[in-house]
Structure 1
Amino acid sequence: TSEHLIYYLETARPITDEVELYLTDQTGKTVKQKSGDKIPFLNRVLDHRKTIFKLNLNAGDKVNAYMSLKSDGEVISLPLVLRSSENLLRTTYFEQLIFGVFYGILILAFITYLFFFIALGDWVFFYYGCYVIFIALMQFSLDGYFYQYFASSGGWFSQRAVIIFAAISRIFLGKYGEVFLNIKKYIEKIFYAFRMVYGLLGLLLLSLLFTPSFLKFTYPLANIFGLAILALIVLSLVYFNIKKLPGDKFFGIGIFFLFLGFLKIKYLVFNSVYSCSRKFYRSAITGI
């Protein structure tokens, strides 16, 4: 560069545990910057929910950058976005607006369903409202806001917030589908299958307390149990259709699209992991 520049390097997911950036200049001097949600928020290079590093480049500087990432089970991704100060500010303001609307809608939905539950005493509204709010909390954690505003110390709960909210949301989704379709009355075997999945999700949550080394397995297991919950609901709908039992077609349509969305997300995640693995091995063998 011919002039002094300040850029911001955005990388990794907000929930990545540890991200370290090493900058080595022409003299061989190395400067280390650290980010990630395992360290206190105030110790980050930049007070931002995302993993962002500050690059201070003097005129004529040539810098080599190296990065180290650590995760305790979450998928690691490595986007590299270089932003100017103005671009970072604009992007942050825009994202705050979009996320504010998104989370506002989910909170409004939770309050609405809670009101219906109190007014009508129907547990379907309670279970669905709880499902919505825990999905919101899970996404809030994935986006880095929970760490920034509620668990900024980077401690135990910060490291496990995503999996806790994910597991609880799956339990409430199952209870919603089970009660709405009155599974206990019509399909006793599937009713007990729901109970078994709830028990497994409960054990998963207990493992966070008593077996910390099991944490890396909880993420794929939570996804498997979530898929099992959806599969049980879909099987119930198929059974209702075959036996001509009373059901709600709009509920079925909603679950169908939820199921497709779940499969699409899992496909993209596993495909990304597979692609990264192939690139890693190719790089290790060929140097490309």
Structure 2
Amino acid sequence: MSAPEKVLSAPPPAAPLRHGVMLVVALLFLLLVAIVLPHGDSGDSFREAARLHPAYLTVLLGAWAFIALESLAGLFLAADAWPARLKRLLLITLLPPIRMTTATSTPPGWLWLPGAGWRPTGPKTTERLEQKLALPMLFLTLLVLPVLGAELGAGEALDKRPTWALAVHLTTCLIWIGFVAEFVWMISATPQKLGYCLRHWINLVIILLPLLAFLRVLAVFRFARFFRAGKLLRAYRLRTLNSRLLRLALLFNLFERIQQRNPEKYCTSLEKKIAELEAELTGMKEKLEAFRVKKAD
């Protein structure tokens, strides 16, 4: 049992309608942000038109205000200390997509999952969530291939074909939204948040690069054009695809299942691993004995 499960004696009230609505509003906010971000070489005219549309800012601020006001009201429904409630309010107000998993009315240690309600955070929930997200995220990551094919194959021709450029841009928006949503759910589920960020730093790069490009904070550097052209994003997307394929294989023990089709080779492989572990254990025992002797002297 994880630490949060020991502290919390009962799950928070379900309120599926309320939290389901907030999940949709948080995803809407994420979509509105995604469509104006530069995700590559295409969609500049659409992004600019969307950003300058009179209704865009109204809807964006409306979604943000809805999340902020609901979080403010949730302060009075929480049972834990006020500093913790205010901390959650600040976090959700600054990062509205966090509302997909976290509410000011619910103490730390709980995660909202669509269709499952509130679940205690910890290794069990993290593992279960990773398994459920593995295939959908692999599908989203595979969309990188047609996007790269269009960007590299068509090149500047995309600017002359607005429909193609829009399709590529919307596809990259979908990929980005998927990465953000997965990251929010996974970082909310695991107690070791820094460790998760370090292990999945490529995902963070995919999320942050369009934001940095939009803010143009790198405009003073010489490689700003390289950054804006999407070359960095292409490289990291391909690397992410390779990483996800490997993680999926490990997650579902695909390598081991393939080996088990040949019993003799599988047994030989296990015997080799056992021998390596035994040799490593013997070496560690020898080091420990040598250290004890040295310490005794």
TM-score (norm 2): 0.29
Between 1 and 2, higher relative CO (CA 8 Å, sep ≥ 6) is seen in: 2
For the pair shown, which has the larger CA radius of gyration, 1 or 2?
2
Higher strand share: 1
Higher helix share: 2
